[in-house]
Amino acid sequence: AQSVAQPEDQVNVAEGNPLTVKCTYSVSGNPYLFWYVQYPNRGLQFLLKYITGDNLVKGSYGFEAEFNKSQTSFHLKKPSALVSDSALYFCAVRDNSNDYKLSFGAGTTVTVRA
Amino acid sequence: DSGVTQTPKHLITATGQRVTLRCSPRSGDLSVYWYQQSLDQGLQFLIQYYNGEERAKGNILERFSAQQFPDLHSELNLSSLELGDSALYFCASNGSHYEQYFGPGTRLTVT
């Protein structure tokens, strides 16, 4: 069974500083990996995905993620954080068997201070 | 806006009652997934339907059931509700793309 882990419950950064949210995964086979963001009282918004190809994938709102097969990681990054990036971030992995369900990490709360 | 709609937005009911949550997928998407988000369990996959047929089951209680109709909208039925069923319930859909698009959710409060 596939799973992801987000080792940090919270990440705090100052506006303008780089932001990194960590994710490691465990799958049998090729991983299909995703990042979602959830703002208060809102649904999950898709940020980016890694399916195949370049290890650095770019997504919405200036976010990017680096896939590292040897370290089984898929860390989310943003070079310069904004206060508006404060939200709950989820890493997810897709089951590539018949059902394609997503398994989510526990989430990381990002707080960007002005 | 993801294109996935869910109703109602909020639902408050008493223990032992039954409720129905409704979801309409993005236009053209055949798959619907239901997830539950709670403080203690996080985001958990419940069930998936594809073009009217059940495709996969996750951590769904026997008191819960779902179906997908010919127009592809889906309903999640929760019965004999308990306090612990209070949560956010999301549906998501996808088509030929890999990512799932989530609706705004239904917040269920059981009192």
Tens digit of pLDDT for each residue in A35-88?
999 998 788 999 999 998 899 999 999 999 999 999 999 999 999 999 999 999
For residue A106, list chain B residues with Cβ-Cβ distance below 8 A.
42
pLDDT of residue A96: 72
Share of chain A above pLDDT 70, in %: 97
Tens digit of pLDDT for each residue in B37-81?
998 889 999 999 999 999 999 989 999 999 999 999 999 999 999
pLDDT of residue A28: 84
Please give the interface size between A and B, counted as residue pairs whose CB atoms are below 8 Å apart. Answer: 54
One-letter amino acid at B96 equals S
**Taking a C-beta distance cutoff of 8 angstroms, is the pair A21, A109 a contact?**
no
Q: Rounded CA gap, A93 and A24, in Å?
A: 10
One-letter amino acid at A70 equals S
pLDDT of residue A98: 58
CA distance B40 to chain A (A): 10
Chain A: residue nearest B55 by CA?
A99
> Is A61 strand, coil or helix?
helix
- Chain B contact for A94, CB < 8 A? yes
Q: Rounded CA gap, B96 and B56, in Å?
A: 18
**Taking a C-beta distance cutoff of 8 angstroms, is the pair B2, B103 a contact?**
yes
- Chain A contact for B89, CB < 8 A? no
User: Of B104 and B41, which is predicted with more confidence?
Assistant: B104
Q: Angle at CA A74, nearest 5°, toward A96 and A36?
A: 75
The verdict on whether omega for the bond into residue A79 sits within 30 degrees of 0, i.e. cis, is no
